[in-house]
Amino acid sequence: MKTNSGVTIVERARTLIGVRFRPKGRNAESGLDCVGVVAMAAGIVRPPDGYALRGGSPEHLADGLCAAGFRLSETPDPGDVLAMRAGPEQLHLGIWTGAGLVHADAGLRRVVERPGSPPWSVLGIWRRIFEEA
């Protein structure tokens, strides 16, 4: 197995900065949520849609990330997905850039890059793994 280029994932994520926030959003034209940002940046063609980030369980989120080809990692590298608890009963995803986090910010109503470490507790670091052809 080999790891997809984290640099490519970061580059794709950064092209989404400024896209408007939309719950359950799956394309840049109509808006994205955090799952949509991760799916577009990581090249996931069919992202999950039967999920609840508010009131959802970290185990269910982990199952979805595994099904999409991600595996847990010990330390974050650029292009990794950070699964976080953004508040009570609220889960959130973002793309680690090495210097910050690209994520769909519901409060700012758009995709942003936040410098530095995320302000939320990190539940897991996930790296996309691709099978060699």
pLDDT tens, residue by residue, 93-110:
999 999 999 999 999 999
Is pLDDT of 1 > 50?
A: no
| Domain span at 56 | 2-130
- Is the pLDDT reported for residue 113 higher than 60? yes
Nearest by Cα to 68 from 83, 55, 90, 54: 83
pLDDT in tens, 66-95: 989 999 999 999 999 999 999 888 899 999
The yes-or-no verdict on residue 27 having pLDDT over 80 is yes
Q: How many of the other CB atoms lie within 10 Å of CB of 14?
A: 15
CATH of the domain at 111: 3.90.1720.10
Percent of all residues in the chain with a pLDDT value above 90, rounded to a whole number: 70
8 Å CB contact between 99 and 42: no
2 pLDDT higher than 60? no
pTM: 0.90
Q: What percent of the chain has pLDDT over 70?
A: 89
Strands (E), 14-57: 26-27, 31-32
Domain count, the chain: 1
